[in-house]
Amino acid sequence: MKRLIVLAAIIVGGCSSPPEQPILYQFFTASRLRDSTSLQNFAVVSFDPATAGTVSNFSITNVGPEQKRPLNLRALAKALDDAEAEDDALMRRKMDYQNANMDAIRRLLQAERDNQTLKGKDAEVQATWTKFREDMSQMMKKVAEAKSKFTAESKLIELSVYDPRNPVDLKKYDTELATKDITVSATVREPGGQSRKKTLIVTMQRAVLKGDREIAGRWVISGVRDAALPAGTKSSGGLEPRVLGA
């Protein structure tokens, strides 16, 4: 415990430290300890020791300006609600048709297994049932796409404004996402055991919700990259931050 306190004092430094220093210290410490439970309180990625290595100490060299963009979560939420309602309605129609044509559907399923051709009324039922199958498949894709879009935008927002005492319904708010990049000079012990000095770019984001009241979220770490490499490039030295929950 004493060793951890001393290390904290060395890294965090005095009271003149930038406000971003504590969350960065928590991030690199929890990543080093593989403490995903702690990380999930303030980050959506980790600095994975197995691929990226561990940060033993760092200093902030620059804090970039905040950039803001609106997120239309209400529209994405409505698209998801509409898709789910459409899916429910299609399912009800399919079940009603199935209940009204149960015997014919059993015959067509058997004919499909035996690779037989149906005629007359059974052929008509087969065509309708095939259309239901195709429509259900397309509807599943539509719902999944709408859910994916909403989840992708809302995951970080939910973490930023999370308060168990006052749960927030994101569908009722207009949302603005603020982003800033923090440049740090860090000593990184790579998985192979070598220690190198690296310049890392840590991206922080937070949400501001506007509706019946304004809610300013807390900063969340959403990305880390080696400043010497283009964004999105995987380093041969193993700098591949892990997305939590992936």
Confidence of residue 243 (pLDDT cuts 50, 70, 90): low
220 vs 41: CA distance, rounded Å: 8
- Where do the structural domains in the chain lie, given as residue ranges? 2-71+173-243, 73-158
Q: Quick: pLDDT tens for 4-15.
A: 433 444 444 445
Q: What does the DSSP 8-state code read for residue 48?
A: -
Q: Quick: pLDDT tens for 114-156.
A: 999 999 999 999 999 999 999 999 999 999 999 998 888 788 8
CB atoms within 10 A of CB 100: 10
Tell me, what's the pLDDT at 231?
64
Lowest mean pLDDT among 14-28, 43-57, 226-240: 226-240
Tell me, what's the pLDDT at 224?
94
What are the C-alpha distances in Å from 226 to residues 48, 79, 138, 201, 232? 14, 37, 41, 6, 10
H or E segment to which residue 70 belongs: strand 67-71
pTM of the model: 0.68
Q: Quick: pLDDT tens for 187-228.
A: 999 998 899 999 999 999 999 998 878 888 999 999 999 998
